Amino acid sequence: MKTIEQVKPMSSDIEEGTYITELKDVTVWGGSELEDYYAEVYVKWHFHIEYRSWGVKSISVYSTQVQATVYDYDTGDTVHIIDTFEMDGWTVEDEGVKLDHSVMPQSCSLDLKNKDITIEW
């Protein structure tokens, strides 16, 4: 498994519909040995509107990259660093996207054992 020492800063471009949202105190899953862990997560995401001459065909919102730093609650030590752009094998799933008000990631869960990251909108 590839490991990284630190993540490269992500950049956003509001004109292009790319944003970055910080989520703090994220739950970390993966077994009883991980129950004293938490993470700080940055989600890079895209807001896209597909236009036609007759109006709007579709509106889509989706995550493009996740960077997470996992910490031990007791010691505050960094336990794991994740960057889905730099590391293979991680899956990112977007759940509950609602376009009616304040579109942005609301929360996240991180499964270290299965390498799954779920973004709640």
In tens digits, the chain (121 residues) has pLDDT values of 455 666 677 878 777 889 999 999 898 987 666 678 999 999 999 999 999 999 999 999 999 999 999 998 889 999 899 999 888 899 999 998 888 888 999 999 999 889 999 999 9
Length of the chain: 121
Q: Are the C-beta atoms of residues 63 and 94 closer than 8 Å to each other?
A: yes
Neighbours of 24 (CB within 10 A): 9
> What torsion do the CA atoms of 21, 111, 114, 33 make, to the nearest 10 degrees?
150
Tokens of 96: 């509950």
Element housing 111 (H / E): strand 107-111
Question: What's the distance, CA 82 to chain centroid?
Answer: 10
Domain extent listing, the chain: 14-120
